[in-house]
A and B are shown apart, each in its own frame.
Chain A
Amino acid sequence: MSLDHTLLSNRAVRSAEIQLKTEQVSLFYGTFQALRNISLDIREKAITAIIGPSGCGKSSFLRLFNRMNDLIIGARIDGKVVIDDINIYDRDIDVVELRKRVGMVFQKPNPFPMSVFENVAFGPRRHGRINRGELEGIVERSLRQAALWDEVKDKLGQSALALSGGQQQRLCIARVLAVEPEVILMDEPCSALDPIATLRIEDLMRSLSSDYTIVIVTHNMQQAARVSDMAAFLMMEKDRAGMLVEYGPTSQLFTNPKDKRTEDYITGRFG
């Protein structure tokens, strides 16, 4: 095996509570089926990694949880995505409320072209009247949580676009934290970052996982091994629809995969 075993995370999964789950979910873009019959339970306050080859539907799967696929014309789902016994695809679900509870960090750092302060304050400002003092408190708390406060406390008024890539990504995490979500979805959050910035984000993810449920999509197998508690391996079927091959504690999936295809993938035989 090419993977360095010393990297494997052996953290015990602290909680067995299920925060999120998908039940027999299929996703279609028009006539194309992107995901097929995926059922997955995601544990509270743990880091769950979604891995798999390019094009297997990892990002599409992640975007089910905050209904980001709604933005795509022709997207349609079968099955259920459940949070707190509520199917978030029910008709009467308020998508805005859902996205407050389920935040998202994207592949490419996407701070708004505004000041550092305004980026973090963006969410709270949209969610109702709030006075300056409270807002300053939220911004500081969020930036501290995102391990960015010390680097930006003297330049809160400066453009967020002047920050480095890694700082921008942590700012985007702070922006999500500011609305106090329960779940944070991360879509290849380090793929645009250098190795040092990547490690900082990973450290941050670990510290955040004591308070938040994190689901991360990653291309980087070592990253999945380093940070996640649970891992799910997705793969395409012949018609290119993504399906779940194997799901389990990360240490088990990486050292003792049950499925031949998982083993082939993590040992680098394809993908």
Chain B
Amino acid sequence: MAVQTISKRELTQRTAFSLLVLATAIVAIPVLFIIIYIAVNGAGAISWEFLTQPPSQAGKAGGIFPAIVGTFFLMLGALIFSLPVGVLAGIYLTEYARDNWLTRLINMAILNLAGVPSIVYGLFGLGLFVLAMKFGMSLLAASLTLACQALAITITTSREAIIAVPREYREGSLAVGATKWQTIRHVVLPHALPGIITGAILSMSRAAGETAPILVVGAAFILPGLPTSPFDQFMALPYHLYTAAAHVPGMPKTTIWGIALVLLVVVLSFNSLAVFIRVRIRQRRFGS
């Protein structure tokens, strides 16, 4: 019967649709739960003093100001080292490198870099930056270590953003006698910029959350003040959180949740910034 066939189709459609909703819920609910749980438990610790004072009594009192500042320094340092190299490498690999086995090998290596466990980057940084290059346990060594890790993401996102630039734009530029470099500089890069920036910011928020690599190249649990040079040791939120939660007996639970909340806010606000910048550039481009 025709009517039956239609209702059967309808049923199939509804089942498929429900499964999709369910799958989305499975992804979304735990994330929301974690955020809300941390916010509820950590809110009590947040105060002006907590955000602006150095820690005292082994972190049980005082604030986490040096850890917040340290995390920002780390992100900044990693950005300064990884962004130019990442973007230039992305340009080279997409625009100039010949498509041969070596290029393909390099591309594969870069993709795999993103999957290397972060502690391995830490040990690499310890070996290269701390010991061999004699930067010591320092902000500089940690920034470079995180930059190496960020490079995999920056190069990959830059390449994808550059490849996504429509061929018509390149042709339009070349057809009025622009050189290849002018075309890249004035047409390809501006168009790829939102993608590149998004990738860079996302890699920064990843760097902000990393604990393992900085553990071995210079992060300290408690320091009396802020680092005064790139060769100083530093505090950072994830490492401070790890030590406070795992190694300080009698640490108030609220303080631990408070640190987690601040870290979460830093990371999420950077991710939101990435989305915001992308939307803004897109609007400006297509807006009238």
A130 at the interface (CB under 8 A from B): no
User: Do B171 and A97 touch (CB < 8 A)?
Assistant: no
A114 CA to B187 CA in the complex, in Å?
9
Residues of A within 8 A of B171 (CB): 68, 71, 104, 106, 110
Q: Are B172 and A110 within 8 A (Cβ)?
A: yes
Q: Are A96 and B175 in contact (CB under 8 A)?
A: no
Please encode chain A, from 83 to 106, with 1 for each CB lying within 8 Å of some chain B CB and 0 for all others: 000000000000011111001101
Residues of B within 8 A of A (CB): 99, 166, 168-179, 182, 186-187, 190-191, 284-288
Map CB proximity to B onto A134-177 as digits: 1 under 8 Å, 0 otherwise. 00000000000000000000010011011000000000100110
Contact between chains at B177 and A99 (CB < 8 Å)? yes
List the A side residues contacting B284 at CB < 8 Å. 159
* Interface residue from A108, A111, A114, A179 paired with B177 (Cβ < 8 Å): A179
Q: Contacts A68-B174, A104-B175, A122-B176 given; indicate if A113 touches B287 (C-beta within 8 A).
A: no
Partner of B173, one of A100, A122, A162: A122
Could you pull out 12 A-B pairs where Cβ atoms are within 8 angstroms? A68-B174, A71-B170, A71-B171, A71-B174, A98-B177, A100-B177, A111-B172, A112-B173, A159-B287, A172-B172, A175-B176, A178-B176
A176 to B169, CA, bound (A): 14
List residues of chain A with CB under 8 Å of any chain B CB. Answer: 66, 68, 71, 73, 96-100, 103-104, 106, 108, 110-114, 122-123, 126-127, 155, 158-159, 161-162, 172, 175-176, 178-179
Q: Are B288 and A159 in contact (CB under 8 A)?
A: yes
Asked if A113 and B175 make an inter-chain contact with CB atoms under 8 angstroms apart, the answer reads no
B187, A96: Cβ atoms closer than 8 Å: no
Q: How many residue pairs, one in A and one in B, have C-beta atoms under 8 Å apart?
A: 78
CB contacts (< 8 Å) of B191 on chain A: these are 113
Given the known interface contacts A73-B99, A122-B186, the answer about A106 and B178 at a Cβ–Cβ threshold of 8 Å is: no
A110-B168, A159-B286 given; A126·B99 CB < 8 A: no
Bound-state CA distance A68–B167 (Å) is 12
Are A112 and B175 in contact, CB atoms less than 8 angstroms apart? no
Residues of A within 8 Å of B186, CB to CB, are 122, 126
Is B182 a contact of A176 with CB atoms below 8 Å? no
User: Judging by beta carbons under 8 Å apart, are B288 and A179 in contact?
Assistant: no
Contact of B178 among A66, A73, A122, A162 (CB under 8 A): A122
* In contact, B176 and A103 (Cβ under 8 angstroms): yes
A192 to B211, CA, bound (A): 54
Known A122-B186, A126-B186; contact A106-B172, beta-carbon cutoff 8 A: yes
- Cα A162 to Cα B172 with chains together (Å): 18
Q: Which residue of B lies closest to A70 (CB)?
A: B174
CA distance A99 to B176 in the complex (A): 6
Asked if B177 and A113 sit within 8 Å, CB to CB, the answer is no
A103 — which chain B residues lie within 8 A by C-beta? Answer: 175-176
